[in-house]
Each structure stands twice: as C-alpha cells, then as structure tokens.
Amino acid sequence: MLDNPGDGIKIRASIGTLARIGIAQVKLEAYPRTAYLLLPGGCSGSCLFCPQWIKESRVSRVSWPEVELEYILNAQMLFERICIQSVLRRMFWEDLVKISSLFEIPVSISTNPVGERELLELRKNSQMIGIGIDAASSSLFEAIRRPGSFESYLKFFEKSLRIYGKGNVYVHLIAGLGEDLKDMVKIMSYIYDRGGAVALFAFTPVPGTPLQDREPPPITYYRFIQIVNYSLKEGIPLERIGSLDPDDYKEAFLTSGCPGCNRPFYNERPGGKLYNFPSRELLESRWEEVREEVRASLEYLRFLP
C-alpha cells in the first residue's frame, strides 16, 4: 500500500459506496459490490437527461458527495471492482489515468471518446471500459444533445474493442429516451455481434433537468429489453423468446454490466418498482410480480425487427 494513498486527491463517490464503507449513514436494501466514483469538476456537455452540467452532485437519481480518495483506497477490498466515471472537461483522461493507477483491485472506467494514445494509457490500469452511447439511434443521440456524434461513438467502440479486447467493452444504453424499439434491438445486436456487451439503464427523470417531466419507461417495455439483452448475450435467437420459461432466464432482470456491477437504486426509489435488480435475493423476493411483468412484456415480441 502507498504511504500517502490518494495524495490529497478529491473524488465524488455514490452515496451507496460511502454507505458501504461506513462514512455515510444511509440504510440500503442492497449495497454496491462495485465502488462507483466520479471525477469532480462538473461537465461541459449539456445532455437533456443528465444533471451533471446543472447540478454537479447528482448522476441519475443518486447523490455523489465529494470525499478524499484516500477513504476509498483504504476500503477498496470491500468491493469487487472500482468504476470511475468521467465528465467532459479539459484533460479529464489524465485524471482517469492517475486515479485508476492507485487501485489494486479491478478497475472499469466509463468515458467519452478519447484518442488512441490516451486510450492505450488508460488501458494500462483498467481492465474494462464503459461507453455511454446512451441513445439507440443517430437522430435520438442528436435530439438529447449528446456531445459528438453517434457515428464517432461507434468508432470509439470499435477502437476500444481492439485495445481492451472482446468481452471487456460495455456500451451503456438508456431505455425510455423516446427510442424506437427496433432501433434499440438493432444497436444491441450490433454491439454483441462485434464482441461488446450492453449495460442497460432505464430513463429516470431528474428534477432540474430539461427532461424532468418525462415519464420513466413502462416496466413491461423495460422487461422486454432486458430479455432481448440477455438473449443476445447468451446467443439465444430472438424468435425463441416466446417459447422460453421465465424461470430459466431470471438473470435477465439483474443489473447488467461489468462483473460485480450492481448499481443499486440507480434508476429507482427504494421500495418502488425495480428496473434493475441489484441482488438475486431481492429478485427472488419479488419474482412473482416480475414473472407477471414478463408475461405482459411479451406483447412487444411483435415489434421485433
């Protein structure tokens, strides 16, 4: 261990991460298995769904207090993985390189596109990469004001596959931003066909953002996309979905992402509907309800491309 871990560096950490290491007093139904960190400094983007450029201390519905990195370094063995999410600002990748180099357990970084040289630097200290394409199509990408272009993100996805290797690249997609289901299935198939994987998020309206009044997606719609994601990951032909027994694919409803990533209550209020289940125990405790939702979700089968 380093003598002076963290070197006075400040970082934002999700409130669940801080609860897990005992420096925030919040009672949670499930604790994060990954420590979720975020570079401080606010974001120069202006994505319509994200509070990062308006109110720096939130991502989705989760608050991210700023703490000394040292606290996280000292408690890293409580976690299976560290996930460091970046914001768009000058030289953000240098901070990612520095911070990821300080950990001894597996690190994932979640980043906007960077050049080849920067990506090679990042690869030295991180095993997996998350890419927030978020929108299912080029037109939706523009409509929600993601910086850059859909096509440049797809190019970055290919470059990341080359540098991190197949199976180590997760594309973040948000369901419920106003996409066409066919576009969603198309982009998910594209990602799996090339050796990537999808981490699914449900759109969550955050107060103060331009999309604060938009409803989250219907739960049956989200369940269907989870089933498609699971089928693509497992190589199950989509035409077979209707003939499968939901008891055989419960895993589809757990949080999707890097190994150890469970993002508890990122998209939902504790006690409310769970879009992504952060643990098997919670899923089992609500399985009858989820099974019903799955049965109803199969009406979306007729919209498959």
By CB under 6 A, is residue 191 in contact with ligand SF4? no
Q: For residue 226, what are the contacts with CB-CB under 8 A and spacing of at least 6?
A: 200, 252, 253, 256
* Closest CB 302 distance from ligand SF4, rounded Å: 30
Instruction: Report the residue number, 110 or 204, with the smaller CB distance to ligand SF4.
Output: 110
Give the DSSP letter string of 111-160.
E----HHHHHHHHHH-SEEEEEEESSSHHHHHHTT-SS-HHHHHHHHHHH
Residue 34 as a binder of ligand SF4 (CB under 6 A): the answer is: yes
Instruction: Report the residue from 15, 67, 88, 261 that binds ligand SF4 according to the rule CB under 6 A.
Output: 261
Q: Convert residues 238-257 into a mask of x (bound to ligand SF4 by CB under 6 A) and - (unbound).
A: -------------------x
Does 14 contact ligand SF4 by CB under 6 A?
Answer: no
Angle, alpha carbons 218-150-232 (nearest 5°): 55
By CB under 6 A, tell whether 108 contacts ligand SF4: yes
Tokens representing 40? 């401080």
* Residue 110 sits in the site that holds ligand SF4 (CB under 6 A): yes
State how far the Cα of 29 lies from the Cα of 299, in Å rounded to an integer: 31
Strands 66-68 and 62-63: unpaired
Q: Which of 103, 141, 150, 170 binds ligand SF4 (CB under 6 A)?
A: 170
* Beta-sheet pairing, 128-134 with 169-175: parallel
Q: How far is the CB of 231 from ligand SF4 (least distance, A)?
A: 19
| CA pair distance 276, 17, nearest whole angstrom | 17
Under rule CB under 6 A, residue 119 binds ligand SF4: no
**Is position 199 an interface residue for ligand SF4 (rule: CB under 6 A)?**
yes
Does the footprint of ligand SF4 cover residue 60 (CB under 6 A)? no
Could you tell me if 222 and 175 are in contact, meaning their C-beta atoms sit under 8 angstroms apart?
yes
**Which spans of this chain sit near ligand SF4 (rule: CB under 6 A)?**
34, 81, 83, 108, 110, 128, 130, 170, 172, 199, 257-258, 261
